[in-house]
Chains A and B, each alone.
Chain A
Amino acid sequence: QKEVEQDPGPLSVPEGAIVSLNCTYSNSAFQYFMWYRQYSRKGPELLMYTYSSGNKEDGRFTAQVDKSSKYISLFIRDSQPSDSATYLCAMTGVSSGSARQLTFGSGTQLTVLP
C-alpha cells in the first residue's frame, strides 16, 4: 500500500463548476501538506501549503486537512479552463525517515471544459 493515495482521474468538469480533489495517507507523522499544480510538460508549482489540520483559503482555492481521518482536500471554485492541469498532493513530517522528504500522490488530471 502506498503511503499517499490519490485518484488519478481523469476528471472533466464544465467551466464554473466546483472541483474537489482528494488524497488519503497512512503515515501519522505527516504534518505539512501541500498541493502542487503541474501543467503538461512543465515542473510542478506550489499551489497551497498548510500545516497540521484546518482550512486555508487563497482566492478560488481552499485546502482542507483532516488529520484524524488522514484525509486532505483541495477545492477549486468557479473553475476555469486555465485550471486544466495535473494536481499533486504532497506531504512531509518531522520524524526521521520522513524528515525533509516530500511524499507525493500520483496526481489527478483535471480538464475544465469551456
Chain B
Amino acid sequence: NAGVTQTPKFQVLKTGQSMTLQCAQDMNHEYMSWYRQDPGMGLRLIHYSVGAGITDQGEVPNGYNVSRSTTEDFPLRLLSAAPSQTSVYFCASGKGLGDTQYFGPGTRLTVL
C-alpha cells in the first residue's frame, strides 16, 4: 500500500493563479480531509469528505474548493491564490468518526 500520496511536493504560485493539489489514498477509506499547517497555528481543517459525492467545510474553507468523485481521490483547488495561502498542506484519510487519520507527506506552497 502506498497509503496517502500528495502531489506536487513543492509549488510556487503568483498571486491570482489557480492550481489543484492532488491527494489519493489506496486504503479504501471513506473519510478524507485537507489541512493547512502554519507556524504557531497547528493543523487547521479546510474541507473534508465522508464519502464519494459528499463534501463539507472545515474551519478555514475560504478560497478553496474540493470535490470527491471517487473514494480514492480528493483534490483541493485554489481558485485565485493569495499570499495568505502560503502554507504546508496535508491530506489525510481514515475509516470514519474517531478513527485514526493517516496523513500524506504534504505540499509546500508559496504564493508570491
Contact = CB atoms under 8 A, between A and B. Distances in A.
Interface of A: 4, 6, 8, 31-32, 34, 36, 41-46, 49, 51, 88, 90, 92, 94, 99-102, 104-107
Contact of B42 (A6, A43, A99, A101): A6
B45 A99 contact: no
B79 interface: no
Interface residues on B, range: 20 to 34
A92 B97 contact: yes
A43 B90 CA distance: 7
B74 interface: no
A44 B90 contact: yes
27 contacts: A6-B42, A8-B40, A31-B98, A34-B100, A36-B103, A41-B106, A42-B106, A43-B90, A43-B104, A44-B43, A44-B90, A45-B103, A46-B100, A46-B101, A46-B102, A90-B43, A92-B98, A94-B98, A99-B97, A100-B96, A101-B48, A102-B33, A104-B43, A104-B44, A105-B42, A106-B41, A106-B42
Contact of B105 (A4, A8, A42, A90): A42
Contact of A102 (B96, B101, B104, B105): B101
Interface of B: 4, 31, 33, 35, 40-45, 48, 50, 58-59, 90, 96-98, 100-106
Contacts of A49: 100
Most chain B CB neighbours (cut-off 10 Å) among A6, A49, A99, A100:
A100
Nearest to A106: B42
Contacts of A105: 42
Given A6-B42, A32-B98, A43-B4, 9 more contacts: A88-B43, A94-B97, A99-B97, A100-B31, A101-B58, A102-B33, A102-B43, A102-B101, A104-B42
Contacts of A42: 105-106
Nearest to A36: B103
